[in-house]
Amino acid sequence: MNVKLLDSSKEKMELRIGESSPAYVNALRRYMAFEVPTMAIEDVEFRSNNSILYDEMVGHRLGLVPLKTDLKSYNLKNECKCKGAGCAQCELKLTLKGSGPKMIYSSDLKSKDPKIKPVYPQIPIVKLLDGQDIAFEAIAVLGTGKEHAKWSPGLIYYRHVPTVKINKQPANSEEVVSRCPRNCFEVKAKKLSVKDNDACILCNDCVEFTNGDIEVGTANDFFMTVESWGQLSPSDIMIKGVEVFNAQLTDFKKLLADVKE
Ligand SMILES: [Zn+2]
C-alpha cells in the first residue's frame, strides 16, 4: 500500500491510497465517520422560552450546531473517571439568554470553556419578536456518529481511481472528445489520447459510443476525501479514526488470546 497527499486545506483533505481494497478503504471511512468523537449539545434545560419554536425544536437545532472539539481535554462519558456521572472532563456547560426583537445566533451561546465554541457563529437558532425571550442551560458531551449524526466529524468518501485505455483509434475521435462529460480526451495530430485519466467518472459513454474501442475500468487505487464539519481538522479525523480502529483491534487480539485453549 502507498499513500499520497493530493490536496489539503482547513476543511478538506484528499489522499490517494494505492494498492488497497474497497473493504479496507471502506473500513477506514466508517471509522472516521462513525467512531471519531466530537462535541455536541445533548441536554438543554429551559428557564424560559416563549418564542415561536417549542423547546424540543430549539433543543434539536442546538444539537446540530458544530462545536470546536478538543479531544485532549475531554473524555467520552462512559470512559470517564466519573463513570458517567458527569464532571468537568466529560461535560461542558453552555448558556444563552436573549430577548426580542432579534435573531438568536449560535454566537450567542456562552461557553464555560473558551476553546469549545460554535464553529460557525452565524447559525440562526430562533427569531424572537418583541416581548419574546429565551433562556437555557445546555450540556455538551463527546459522542460518536454511530449514535447520532450530530456527533459525526464530517463527510468521508472514496472512489476508485479509473483506468481509461484506448485499444483502437475510433473512427469518430472528435465526437468522443466532445461527448465526454469530464473532458478526459483530446485529439492531437488526428490521434485520440487520454488527457485526464483521473477525471473519469466511469459513465461508460465512450465505451458504448465506440463499441469497445475504448476500455474503462478501475485500479486497486482509491481517492479518499475527508470534508470536516469544522469540529476537528481533516488530519485529526483521519488520525483519530485510525487510532480507534487500532485500539479495537488490540482489544480483539486480547480477547482472542483468552479464548485459545
Ligand atoms: Zn466525567
CA–centroid distance, residue 87 to ligand 1 (Å): 4
What does each C-alpha distance from 236 to 124, 133, 226 come to in angstroms? Answer: 28, 39, 10
Quote the cell numbers at residue 162: 479509473
- pTM of the model as a whole: 0.86
Helix (H) / strand (E) containing 61: helix 55-63
Which chain residues have CB less than 5 Å from ligand 1, an ion? 80, 82, 87, 89-90
pLDDT at residue 11 greater than cutoff 70: yes
| pLDDT, tens only, 218-252 | 989 999 999 999 999 999 999 999 999 999 999 99
pLDDT at 12: 96
| pLDDT, tens only, 135-167 | 999 999 999 999 999 999 999 999 999 999 999
User: Percentage of residues in the chain with pLDDT exceeding 70?
Assistant: 100
Q: Between 22-34 and 234-259, two packed helices, what is the crossing angle to 10 degrees?
A: 110
CA–centroid distance, residue 237 to ligand 1 (Å): 23
> Where in the chain are the domains?
2-34+155-225, 39-150
* Average confidence (pLDDT) over 118-131: 97
With cell 483519530, the residue in question is 240
CA–centroid distance, residue 75 to ligand 1 (Å): 7
Looking at the structure, give the CATH architecture of the domain made up of residues 2-34+155-225.
2-Layer Sandwich (3.30)
CA–centroid distance, residue 13 to ligand 1 (Å): 33
The correct answer on CATH 2.170.120.12 for the domain covering 39-150 is yes
CA–centroid distance, residue 25 to ligand 1 (Å): 34
